[in-house]
Amino acid sequence: MKKTALLTGVAIATILAACSPKTAEVEASKTVVREVEMTEAAKAAKKAIAGKPMLAEWSGPYDGVPPWGDVDVSTFEADLTTGLDMAQAEYDAIANNPAPATFDNTMLAMERAGEPLSRASRIFGVHGSNLANDEIRGIQSRMSPKYSAFSDGITQNEKLFARIKSVYENMDKDGLNPIQQRLVTDSYRSFVRQGANLNEADKARLTDVNSRLSTLTTSFGQNVQKDEEKYTTVITDKKDLAGLPDWLIASMADQGADGEWVVTNTRSSMDPFLTYSANRKLREEVWNKYYNRGDNGDANDNNKIISEILTLRQERAKLLGYESHAHWALETRMAKNPQNAIDLMEAVWPAAVARANEEIADMQKVANGEGAKFEIKPWDYRYYAEKVRKDKYDLDFNLVKPYMQMEKLREGMFYAAGRLYGFEFEQVSDVPVYHEDVRVWKVMKDGDLQGLWYFDPYARKGKRSGAWMNALRTQHRMDGKDVKVIVTNNSNFVKGADGEPTLISWDDANTMFHEFGHALHGLNSNVTYPSQSGTAVARDYVEFPSQLNEHWLTTPEVLNTYAVHYKTGEPIPQDLLDKMDNAATFNQGFSTVEYLASALVDMKLHMTKGEIDPDKFERETLESLGMPSAIVMRHRTPHFGHIFAGGYSAGYYSYLWSDTLTADSAEAFEEAGSFYDEAVAKSLYENIMSVGDTVDPADGFRAFRGRDVSIAPLMRKRGFPVTKDME
């Protein structure tokens, strides 16, 4: 049951973490365009949501918008519970329908079910990730087992599964088109993978396992967020600011009281401090606080939680007939099985480690030349890497920062999206927002509304760290109405001082374009059924459009117009651009190794057979891989929210898998002579960006590129050797 899995997956994830259509599809959609009869159940549902903004259909402009101004935190728990009860009643009605099962009365009915719950969950999810406090966290903890029980109750409903199975077995006879057949097949397979074929005792145990897992993953994410708030570094002596650029000092001052400079315990704060601080002792302190999140032996320690999560995931996999959680998770992804993912990672790993060791040797020479009496440690890596960058490439990224105005780069994102997809963006003020920092743009194409884009860029207390995209409403035209997209991009930039622009790092600029790529994937969606819309694709495919979108940041059209100095308005000088281009593959050893270490540990964790000591497992696995001692995993196990509080368990490899597709696709534009080539952009839209999950992703990529993916472009992109067998 793909929609149920998607709905509850999105809801739980947010609660825990806080193409032109084919002709056949168009013709088939005409047969389902009709007014939905107002049944007694529908009337009852309408009555149940009256006066409840969390559950009610969204009103206002742009086909309705989230009613942030009417949201009452005190009603969240009751409204979510009501939404669960309403959704349960809808699914029960489908299951108990006495008429023979058909695509319309079963699959389409399921696609429509649970809308009030979906609306409420998405609103609450924003509060969990962007506006969290103790009250919200308490609701998260109490509601997550209820969501789990709801999901299990649907996938284990024998009558409902029997109807889906009947539609599945009669697809050809009933004349369903390929897109409808894909929807049915995915739903049938999802039910089986969630335990529909288990006996009653095993179903009961599976429900217990899922309920406990929902509680544990909620606690994991909350513990990390608490450590981010608890373990900040406060500096009170100006001499401890040695080496830090003015922009960083100013942003640190904004985080503290008078006479204080604060390094918050987030990557966007930690990373620049470790890059520029001349105080090695403070670098070590900041590094330890960041990389020991969830691993401090206190009430927020995640090690026991991790061990139990892994044990329960393995038990669940065995119940469902799989060798491990990793085998279960990868069955529906492009990789198909863990070994294929491991093979890709291990093909890249040796070259990445070799390059990283060269980088470390270069840094050690610099440190030794300064009279250092120590070996490069992880808290030294960024600091000395920056020195090597200046020495080898005469490139100081402090000189790039003044050109990285967040607002101008946002305009650059809009420009590129306009050139590629025909989008036009206009800021609007006639919709409510959930925080004063949030702004909204309407997105138009050929004079028609495509959707809304919400932008929440700044860090604040209660907002989880990192950057992400949320889909508040997905595109579809299931019942003859073209439902418009509402997406959000969220970041944690430090707001510029009064009257000053917000300046971000080069890496942050890449991240902006990356997350906007997810938004564009949603905004470009052109499908009939909600379950197949936008980013509802395989986990190891979903990062492909977003990673590809990073490439437009470096196009001359964007850099020369939007990467302009915040004082002079002049673009980045050509000699600085040349230096950046020459250093494009600098530090790829470090970035690839820290990422791959996390991805390999993730995969191996989810192939374990019993309880483990997470710290010991991490240490021994990295030793067996030959991990350089000067580098750590990008996400250490105790705070690895992607896999223990999000949707990437046994799936962090997806970024490399997607980047293999990305690098190959980027070369398609390069071969055409421009990243704005109209023919290539049109093919990208038709075969990748608009089709959602209506086609197999391998087929979509093959249609775009004209062949299967090659690893050679990925290796070239990272500056690694390319062997003949890679071409």
Claim to verify: residue 108 and residue 252 sit in the same structural domain:
no
Q: Is residue 281 part of a domain?
A: yes
pLDDT, one tens digit per residue, over 226-260 is 999 999 999 999 999 999 999 899 989 988 899 99
Distance CA 324, CA 603 (A): 10
Q: What are phi and psi of 443, to 5 degrees?
A: -115, 120
Report the candidate in 287, 312, 278, 291 with the shortest Cα–Cα distance to residue 208.
Answer: 312
3-state helix, strand, coil in the chain (%, to 5): 60, 5, 35
**Do 470 and 103 meet the contact criterion of CB atoms below 8 Å apart?**
no
**DSSP run (H or E) holding 490:** strand 485-493
Could you tell me the CATH number of the domain that includes residue 84? 1.10.1370.40
Q: What are phi and psi of 223, to 5 degrees?
A: -60, -40
Q: Is residue 265 part of a domain?
A: yes
Distance CA 464, CA 62 (A): 29
Claim to verify: residue 444 and residue 511 sit in the same structural domain:
yes
Last residue of a domain, one of 177, 193, 209: 193
Write down the pTM of the prediction: 0.88
378-380-381 Cα angle (round to 5): 70
Report the candidate in 700, 695, 421 with the shortest Cα–Cα distance to residue 544.
Answer: 700
Distance CA 656, CA 560 (A): 30
**Do 608 and 314 meet the contact criterion of CB atoms below 8 Å apart?**
yes
Claim to verify: residue 129 and residue 253 sit in the same structural domain:
no
Claim to verify: residue 408 and residue 488 sit in the same structural domain:
yes
**Do 324 and 246 meet the contact criterion of CB atoms below 8 Å apart?**
no
Beta-bridge partners for 564: 571
Both tokens assigned to 271: 């990373």
Q: Is residue 504 part of a domain?
A: yes
Both tokens assigned to 353: 């480690």
Could you tell me the CATH number of the domain that includes residue 512? 3.40.390.10
- Count of beta carbons in the 10 Å neighbourhood of residue 340: 16
Claim to verify: residue 130 and residue 239 sit in the same structural domain:
no
Residue 24: per-residue pLDDT: 32
pLDDT, one tens digit per residue, over 376-391 is 999 999 999 999 999 9
Residue 43: per-residue pLDDT: 66
Helices then strands, each counted (H, E), the chain: 29, 7
Residue 14: per-residue pLDDT: 36
Name the residue range of residue 180's domain. 2-155+157-193
Claim to verify: residue 61 and residue 189 sit in the same structural domain:
yes
Is 515 catalytic? The answer is: yes
Claim to verify: residue 186 and residue 237 sit in the same structural domain:
no
Claim to verify: residue 127 and residue 29 sit in the same structural domain:
yes
Claim to verify: residue 164 and residue 287 sit in the same structural domain:
no
Claim to verify: residue 112 and residue 64 sit in the same structural domain:
yes
3-class SS letters over 628-692? CCCCCCCCCHHHCHHHHCCCCCCCCCHHHHHHHHHHHHHHHHHHHCCCCCHHHHHHHHHHHHCCC
Residue 103: per-residue pLDDT: 98
- Residue 486 DSSP SS3: strand
In the block, tokens 């009709």 appear at: 34
Report the candidate in 699, 709, 706 with the shortest Cα–Cα distance to residue 22.
Answer: 699
Q: Is residue 110 part of a domain?
A: yes
Q: Is residue 701 part of a domain?
A: no
Last residue of a domain, one of 266, 291, 316: 291
Q: Is residue 298 part of a domain?
A: no
- Residue 452 DSSP SS3: strand
Write the CB contacts of 383 (distance below 8 Å, at least 6 apart in sequence): 274, 275, 276, 277, 278, 283
**DSSP run (H or E) holding 52:** none
Both tokens assigned to 725: 């067998």
Q: What are phi and psi of 492, to 5 degrees?
A: -135, 50
Last residue of a domain, one of 291, 307, 333: 291
Q: What are phi and psi of 517, to 5 degrees?
A: -60, -40
Name the DSSP letter for residue 104.
I
Helices (H), 96-199: 109-112, 115-130, 134-155, 158-169, 178-193
Residues of the chain short of pLDDT 50, as ranges, are: 1-38
Claim to verify: residue 247 and residue 124 sit in the same structural domain:
no
Sequence letter at residue 448: D
| Number of domains forming the structure of the chain | 3
Both tokens assigned to 39: 């049944």
Name the DSSP letter for residue 483.
B
Residue 3: per-residue pLDDT: 39
Work out whether strand 485-493 and strand 448-458 pair parallel, antiparallel, or are unpaired: parallel
* Given the residues 115, 515, 543, 618, the one annotated as active site: 515
User: Residue length, the chain?
Assistant: 727
**Do 378 and 631 meet the contact criterion of CB atoms below 8 Å apart?**
yes
Distance CA 168, CA 103 (A): 9
Claim to verify: residue 70 and residue 146 sit in the same structural domain:
yes
Residue 715: per-residue pLDDT: 96
Q: Is residue 122 part of a domain?
A: yes
Q: Is residue 709 part of a domain?
A: no
